[in-house]
Amino acid sequence: MGDFDRVLAARSAERPTGLQFFSAMFSEFMELHGDRRFGDDPAIVGGIGRLNGMAVTAICTEKGRTTRDKVRRNFGSAHPEGYRKALRLMKQAEKFGRPIICLIDTSGAFCGLEAEERGQGQAIAENLLEMMTLRVPIVSVITGEGGSGGALALAVADTVWMLENGAYSVISPEGCASILWKNAAEKETAAEHLALTAEKLLPLGIIDRIIAEDEPMEQVMKKLGCLLYQEVERLRSINIDDLLEARYQRFRSMGTDKIQKGTEEL
Amino acid sequence: MLNGNIFKKALNSLEETGILRPGAKPQTPDRLYIKCDACKAMLLADELREHLYVCPKCGAHMRISARDRIHMLFDEGSFQEWDADLLATDFLHFPGYPEKLAEYREKSGEKDGVVTGLASIGGHPCAIFVMDPGFMIGSMGTVIGEKITRVFERAAQQKLPVIGFTVSGGARMQEGTTSLMQMAKVSGAVKRHSDQGGLYIAVLTDPTSGGVTASFAMEADVLMAEPGALIAFAGPRVIEQTIHKKLPAGFQRAEFLLEHGFLDKIVTRDRLRVTLKRLLGYHRQEDGSYGRL
Ligand SMILES: [Zn+2]
C-alpha cells in the first residue's frame, strides 16, 4: 500500500465519522453547543461523554453522514467558531478536572472568506497556546485525515495516537505537488515524501502509537475506547506539573535532532 | 494618507517623529533603478534606500531583508546574533530540497529564514527574531522553529521582552509533518514566556500567512503590522479556488485586519522605531525588567 493509497483510505466515505466513534466508545454523550462569541460550528462537535464510567470532555471534527448532513457540517472543515467552541469546552474541562479526548478527521480548517474575516489563524493560534498549559490530561487521536493546522488545533496533547489508515500532513499531496512542481499528478511522489503515514510519524515522535485496523471498524472503535480509558487513567496518575513539563518537551523536541550544527552543508 | 513627506509628519501630535537610519547595504547593488510593484514608478535605488524601501510615490512598503531591518531599527552596534550556525537537513529525502536550500543560501546569504539575537532599541534590551523574505519566503521548518523557540526560552531566562518580525509563505513542505509541529513547539515557548509575565510584540510584514499566522504571529501581547501587508491563514489564491469567487479589493490586507479587530496598530516603517521604543518604555519596571518578568 503506497502512501497516497493511505491518503485515499483516510478520506474514504466508508470511514466512520467522529460521532460514530463516540457512539461506539461512550455509554453516554451529551453535546454542548456554541463558542459564546459568534455561533455554533457543526463541523466540530463537543460535549461530555462517559468512557467506561468516567466523565470526559470529548471533542471531534464531524464530516457528516448524509449529503445534507455533510453540507451542514461543511464536510468537517471548521470555521474559527468551531475552534473557539473546542477551547471553551476544554477550559470547562480544566475547571472541573475532566480529562479531554479529541478525535480528529478533517481535511483542514476551512479556507473561506468568512473564516478569514473572523480570524481562522488567530483561533488556531489561541488553541495551540492554551492547550499547552491546560491542567488536565489531553489525548488526541487522528482517526482519518489530519489536515494541517486545522488538525493540530485539536492535537496539542499529552498523547497523540493515529489509526493505521490515517494521514496527518502539513499539506495535501495534491496541493504540495501543484505548488512545487506545478503538477497535481505528482501527488503520489508528494505523498511518499511528506511523512504523513502512521508508520512514518511514529519514529519521528509525532505520534505515540498506531491503532491497528485489523478487525471490523466497530471492533476497532470499541478497542480504541478501552485503550483511551487506560491511557487517561495512566495520565491522571501523573503529577500535573510533571505532565505539563512532559507535554512541553514532547513538542519542544520536534525536529531538533534533524538540525545540523556548523558550517558544513548537508 | 501616505505620500512623499511621511517621514517628516507625525501621525498625531502626541507621537514624536522618529527617523530611522536608512539601510546600509543596498539590496540590489547592481541596479540604479528599482520599479515599484504597486505604482510602477521607476525609483532611484539610492533614494529608495534613504526612504527605507518605502515607495516615495505611493507609500508601498517593499519587502526587506532581515539584516536590513535589523540595521534600520535597532541601536547601532547593539545586535549580537544567536544560533547563526543551525542548518536544515533533508531528512525526508524530499526531491529537490538540497538544491533549493543551496540556492537560497547562496541567493540570500542566510543559512535559513530567520535571524535571531539580542539587540536594543532606544537603550531597551530585547530578544529579537526577524524573518527573511529572501529565504524561501520565510517558509517555516525545523531551523526557524528551533531558533524562535530558543529566543523565547532565553528571553524567559534573561527576563527580556521579545520583538518579532514575521514574514512567511507558510510551512516548509519539504520537512513534512515535522514542519507542522513547529507551530506547537514555538507556541509552547511563547506561552511559557508569557506566563512568566514576559512582553512579546509582533510586527507582521508582507506576506505573513499559513502556519506562522496560525501560531506565533497571532500570539503577541501587542500585534502590529506594516501598511498593506497581506496577513492570512489561507492565501487569496487558495480561497478563490475554494469558494470560486473573486475576493474584494483590500481583503486580508493589514487595514482589513485592523478593521476586524485582529491588530492593535498599523505602523509605517519610519515610525516603527519610535513606536517600539515607547511600548518598551511603558513596560519597563523599576528594577530594569520588562512586563512582570
Ligand atoms: Zn509606488
- Taking the CA of residue A122 and the nearest CA in chain B, the distance in Å comes to 5
AA letter at B209: S
Q: Residue B236 maps to which CATH number?
A: 3.90.226.10
Count of structural domains within chain A: 1
Lowest mean pLDDT among A199-203, B45-49, B169-173: B45-49
Mean local confidence (pLDDT), B262-270: 97
The reply to whether B147 falls in a domain is yes
> Residue A146 in contact with residue B184, Cβ under 8 Å?
no
- pLDDT (tens digit per residue) in A207-229: 999 999 999 999 999 999 999 99
- pLDDT (tens digit per residue) in B120-149: 999 999 999 999 999 999 999 999 999 999
Question: Which letter, b or e, does each residue of B142-179 get, where b requires 16 or more Cβ atoms within 10 Å of its Cβ?
Answer: bbbbbbbbbbbbbbbeebbbbbbbbbbbbbbbbbbbbb
Task: Please count the other Cβ atoms lying within 10 Å of the Cβ belonging to residue A38.
Answer: 15
What pLDDT is recorded for position B30? 65
Determine contact: A246 vs chain B, CB below 8 A. Answer: no
- pLDDT (tens digit per residue) in B251-263: 999 999 999 999 9
Instruction: Give the single-character DSSP code of A178.
Output: H
- Which B positions 238-257 lie with beta carbon below 8 A of chain A? 238-239, 242-243, 245, 247, 251-252
- pLDDT (tens digit per residue) in A79-132: 999 999 999 999 999 999 999 999 999 999 999 999 999 999 999 999 999 999
The reply to whether B47 falls in a domain is no
Question: CB distance B177–A252 less than 8 Å?
Answer: no
- pLDDT (tens digit per residue) in B65-107: 999 999 999 999 999 999 999 999 999 999 999 999 999 999 9
What pLDDT is recorded for position B202? 98
pLDDT over 50 at A165, yes or no = yes
Ligand 1 center from residue B42 Cα (angstroms): 8
- At B293, the pLDDT band (50, 70, 90 cuts) reads low
pLDDT higher for A241 or A182?
A241
Q: Which residue of A has its CA nearest to B223?
A: A122
Q: Which residues of chain A neighbour B190 with C-beta distances below 8 Å?
A: 129
What pLDDT is recorded for position B290? 82
pLDDT over 50 at B17, yes or no = no
pLDDT over 60 at B18, yes or no = no
pLDDT over 90 at B7, yes or no = no
- Which A positions 36-95 lie with beta carbon below 8 A of chain B? none
pLDDT higher for B162 or B31?
B162
Q: Does the structure's ipTM exceed the value 0.95? A: yes
| Residue range(s) defining the domain that contains residue B244 | 64-282
DSSP letter string, chain B: ---TTTTT--SSTTS---PPPPPSS-SSTT-SEEE-TTT--EEEHHHHHHTTTB-TTT--B----HHHHHHHHSPTT--EEE-TTEE---TT--TTHHHHHHHHHHHHS-SSSEEEEEEEETTEEEEEEEE-TTTGGG-B-HHHHHHHHHHHHHHHHTT--EEEEEEESSB-GGGHHHHHHHHHHHHHHHHHHHHTT--EEEEEEEEE-TTTTTTGGG--SEEEE-TT-BB-SS-HHHHHHHH-SPPPTTTTBHHHHHHTT--SEE--GGGHHHHHHHHHHHHB-TTS-BTT-
Q: Percent of chain B having pLDDT more than 70? A: 89
- Taking the CA of residue B2 and the nearest CA in chain A, the distance in Å comes to 25
What pLDDT is recorded for position A262? 80
AA letter at A188: E
- Which B positions 141-170 lie with beta carbon below 8 A of chain A? 141-143, 145-146, 149
| Residue range(s) defining the domain that contains residue A240 | 3-265
- CB-side neighbour CA atoms (13 Å) of A138: 31
Kindly give the residue spans of alpha helices, DSSP state H, lying in A51-204.
Answer: 67-72, 80-95, 113-117, 120-131, 148-152, 173-181, 187-193, 198-201
pLDDT over 90 at A50, yes or no = yes
What pLDDT is recorded for position B24? 43
pLDDT over 70 at A185, yes or no = yes
Question: CB distance B214–A124 less than 8 Å?
Answer: yes
Count of structural domains within chain B: 1
Q: Percent of chain A having pLDDT more than 70? A: 98
Determine contact: A256 vs chain B, CB below 8 A. Answer: yes
Determine contact: B88 vs chain A, CB below 8 A. Answer: yes
- At B11, the pLDDT band (50, 70, 90 cuts) reads very low
Question: Which letter, b or e, does each residue of B196-224 get, where b requires 16 or more Cβ atoms within 10 Å of its Cβ?
Answer: eebbbbbbbbbbbbbbbbbbbbbbbbbbb
- Which B positions 255-274 lie with beta carbon below 8 A of chain A? 260-262
Q: Which residues of chain A neighbour B183 with C-beta distances below 8 Å?
A: 128, 149, 152
Q: Residue A189 maps to which CATH number?
A: 3.90.226.10
Classify residue A247 by burial, with Cβ atoms within 10 Å: 0-12, 13-18, 19+: buried
pLDDT over 50 at B174, yes or no = yes
What pLDDT is recorded for position A133? 98
Q: Mean pLDDT over all residues of chain B?
A: 90
The reply to whether B45 falls in a domain is no
